[in-house]
Chain A
Amino acid sequence: MYPFEITSPLTIAAAVEALENEEAQPLAGGQTLIPTLKARLAMPEVLVSLTGIKELQSIAVRDGQLCVGAGVTHANLAKQTAQYPALAALAADIGDPAVRNRGTIGGSLANNDPAACYPAAALASGATIVTNARTIAADDYFVGMFETALDEGEIITEVRFPLPQAAHYAKFAQPASRFALVGVFVARFADGVRVAVTGASEEGVFRWTDAEGALSQAFSAQALDGLTVPAEDMMDDIHGTPDYRAHLVAVLTKRAVVAAG
């Protein structure tokens, strides 16, 4: 690692101020950032640690939405989110216990790894990403692989999830990394169904609108019969071919619908 300084502000305002320095970068759980620093893929002069900021730690239901502070770890979300069982189950299955004790929802959404789990939950739930400066609808937030609508120096402070009537996340874990080889989050609301797919596309997380249409008509696995996603948009790597990933998308969507009930 190149040398850098760590600063540990106690408020969002102080963190935002520290991040005005162009060479500064936020540090949350470090589960992605520290390996990146070790590989010398990032060279910040200052890391602004968000872990001491109490404002980022709360989980509460407000106006019918589950509001999760950006600094909430996967482990705490898994334990404290009875209001949204599908989201709690997703958090409980990220990586391993030690990763879940440090990694945060804010870090995951800011990183937008194409194989990460939370982006699927945020997009399928129609969540709102709240930052120090504005609110961003999930539909506008995920721009591409590792790319988001966040500006330089902008930090996620909270994520607001509308609570669906039924939901489930079906994940096919890549056995070595434990990330999603493909993961599908299905969420059923009074006004329709949303389906978000992670792990599969070259563009990162995406909504499978054909499946949403069919499931909004009839919420059953049969409603998906014959529907497929085009393989040409899928990722191709040693873990899976585009055809295989496209196949998994359809299978996992059905499983998610059945499990959501």
Chain B
Amino acid sequence: MPHIEGSSVTEETMTQISMVVNGTAMTGDVADQTLLVDFLRDDLRLTGTHVGCDTSQCGACLVHVNGLAVKSCTMFAREAQDAEVATIEGQAMADGQLNAIQQAFQTHHGLQCGFCTPGMIMATAALLQDNPKPTEDQIRNYLEGNFCRCTGYHNIVRAVFAASGQDVSLIAAE
């Protein structure tokens, strides 16, 4: 870290933080300016959460904090003190099988390079929690903050529709 001319801050302030990540209690010492995404990736080595833009635009870093979708590149790790955090690593079923959302993304080709996929899956999980049977418009609207540079979105929309248990042949998605 750079030394700031004329400032009394020359060192990082370290704080011990604890949170429950995918059901497991986790603790770490972090500098106060550590982003939640960096704590997850660098300290906990949960590298499924991606950094696409680092400017709160793309949603690749989307995780749940206390059940709410947040962009973990735009939240400090300290702000998640005592929170329940869910990431892509906790999504598969106990026996390692893909969950319904993940399976639908595979079946409907909702991914190509896969970079956006963890954020898409976590956003979808948050959407279906609030709205178990979303319309195509509601899906597109909800995923407004999740960018995919490969698929052109149609297959993602189909995957989300299918994951909600609805008949994909009913939507145009084109």
Q: Which A residues are closer than 8 A to B by beta carbons?
A: 1-6, 8, 23, 27, 30-31, 34-35, 37-38, 43, 45, 47, 49, 51, 75, 95-99, 101-102, 178
Instruction: For the complex formed, measure the closest distance between the CB of A156 and the CB atoms of chain B, giving whole angstroms.
Output: 19
Residues from 115 to 129 in B contacting A, C-beta threshold 8 Å: 123, 126-127
Contact digits for B27-70, partner A, Cβ 8 Å, 1 yes 0 no? 00001110100000000000000000011100100100000111
- Cα-based distance from A214 to B68 in the complex (angstroms): 44
- Cα-based distance from A43 to B59 in the complex (angstroms): 26
Q: Which 6 A-B pairs have the closest CB atoms?
A: A96-B145, A5-B13, A101-B68, A6-B32, A96-B144, A3-B12
Q: Which residues of B contact A49 (CB under 8 A)?
A: 78-79
Q: Which residues of A contact B54 (CB under 8 A)?
A: 38
Q: Which residues of B contact A45 (CB under 8 A)?
A: 7-9
- Cα-based distance from A93 to B71 in the complex (angstroms): 17
Chain B interface bracket (under 10, 10 to 19, 20 to 34, 35 or more): 35 or more
Instruction: For the complex formed, measure the closest distance between the CB of A36 and the CB atoms of chain B, giving whole angstroms.
Output: 10
The verdict on B76 contacting chain A, using a C-beta distance below 8 Å, is: yes
Instruction: For the complex formed, measure the closest distance between the CB of B127 and the CB atoms of chain A, giving whole angstroms.
Output: 8
- Cα-based distance from A97 to B126 in the complex (angstroms): 9
Contact of B71 among A4, A8, A98 (CB under 8 A): A98
**Given A98-B145, A102-B75, do A3 and B1 touch, yes or no (CB 8 Å)?**
yes
Whether B69 and A101, one on each chain, are in contact in the complex, defined by CB atoms closer than 8 angstroms, is: yes
- Cα-based distance from A128 to B142 in the complex (angstroms): 32
Of all chain B residues, the one with the shortest Cβ separation from A49 is B79
Given A2-B4, A31-B56: 18 more A-B contacts, CB < 8 Å: A3-B4, A3-B33, A4-B13, A6-B32, A6-B79, A8-B81, A30-B74, A30-B75, A34-B76, A96-B146, A98-B59, A98-B69, A98-B71, A99-B56, A101-B68, A102-B71, A178-B144, A178-B145
